[in-house]
């Protein structure tokens, strides 16, 4: 299975670089998709002066059968190892960011590693009510029905396509449910600020994530930015410029002192 990491180098003329603050950012794509769904966001962050690591999550970017054999622990381990590698380098600050599943994994990393900021775009922590019964029964039926329809491509903007698998392996959905349970239990361990970019109309993820984060994150850690002109894959949708500009602005606001002074 491919587990590559694309590294976007910082523009030395970017606003973060001119502020003499070197951010290292781990940026994570969504379920069944690939780094292309977050690449424009990564490019915007690199243009601002951050070094951006975009890993291809295990089971992604290859075949549906690879994803069917992937376990939630592999996703978590890869992301945490990527953050560990960044923590050993000479960055002033570390951030984690992600779309959908990538947002879930960013929260998991923030609960276990010393990061300075977390950015989430429509992260998944629960399934839609209409899907919950199917998910609950999927361990019983996954050999009979090994795949279901695609989950990607929920984009309002005309003519934009998200590269992703055309089928969704049911065993991977079972792993997704395990990941959700694990991350929900760990939300109270997050100590750094979290920015949530939340679409008002999302056909993939239910609107319960914001409620969960409000209840379980520490006081004043969560900031919510509403997006009225995008569906689930907002990083490729009409509100993408809002995400790019706001995340850079937030990094600038957080750019005081070194990592030891902000974690």
pLDDT tens by residue, the chain, 263 residues:
445 789 999 999 999 988 889 999 999 999 999 999 999 999 999 999 999 999 999 999 999 999 999 999 999 999 999 999 999 998 999 999 999 999 999 999 999 999 999 999 999 998 866 565 455 556 656 666 777 778 889 999 999 999 999 999 989 998 999 999 999 999 999 999 999 999 999 999 988 888 999 999 988 999 999 999 999 999 999 999 999 999 999 999 998 744 433 33
Task: Please name the residue ranges forming H helices in the chain.
Answer: 15-18, 39-48, 64-68, 72-87, 101-112, 129-141, 170-186, 209-216, 240-253
Note if 255 is an active site residue.
Answer: no
Among residues 232, 237, 239, 255, the one annotated as catalytic is: 232
Q: What is the pTM of this model?
A: 0.92
13 is written with which tokens? 């003329």
Q: DSSP string of 9-35?
A: PPPTTSHHHHTT--EEEEEE--TTB-G
Q: Which of 37, 100, 199, 247 is catalytic?
A: 100
Catalytic residue among 92, 108, 202, 239: 202
The radius of gyration of the chain from alpha carbons, rounded to an integer in Å, stands at: 17
Catalytic annotation present for 232: yes
Whether 100 is catalytic: yes
User: What burial letters (b/e) apply to 140-168, b meaning 16+ CB within 10 Å?
Assistant: eebeeeebeeebbbbbbeeeeebebbebb
User: Which fold would CATH assign to domain 5-261?
Assistant: Rossmann fold (3.40.50)
């Amino acid at each position: 299975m491919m587990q590559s990491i694309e590294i976007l180098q910082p523009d030395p003329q970017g606003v973060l670089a001119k502020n003499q603050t070197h951010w290292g950012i781990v940026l994570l794509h969504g379920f069944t998709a690939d780094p292309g769904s977050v690449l424009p966001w990564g490019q915007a962050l690199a243009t601002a002066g951050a070094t951006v690591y975009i890993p291809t999550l295990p089971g992604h970017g290859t075949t549906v059968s690879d994803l069917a054999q992937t376990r939630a622990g592999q996703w978590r381990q890869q992301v945490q190892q990527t953050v560990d590698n960044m923590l050993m380098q000479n960055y002033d600050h570390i951030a984690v960011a992600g779309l959908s599943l990538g947002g879930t994994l960013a929260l998991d990393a923030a609960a276990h590693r010393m990061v300075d900021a977390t950015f989430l775009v429509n992260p998944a922590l629960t399934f839609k009510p209409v899907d919950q019964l199917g998910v609950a029964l999927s361990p019983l039926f996954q050999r009979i029905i090994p795949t279901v329809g695609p989950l990607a491509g929920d984009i309002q903007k005309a003519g934009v396509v998200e590269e992703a698998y055309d089928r969704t392996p049911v065993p991977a959905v079972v792993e997704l449910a395990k990941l959700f349970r694990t991350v929900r239990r760990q939300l109270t361990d997050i100590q750094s600020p979290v920015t949530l970019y939340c679409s008002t109309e999302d056909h993939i993820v239910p609107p319960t994530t914001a409620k969960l984060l409000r209840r379980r994150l520490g006081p004043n850690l969560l900031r919510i930015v509403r997006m009225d002109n995008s569906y689930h894959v907002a990083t490729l949708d009409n509100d993408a410029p809002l995400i790019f500009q706001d995340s850079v602005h937030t990094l600038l606001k957080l750019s005081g002192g070194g990592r030891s002074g902000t974690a």
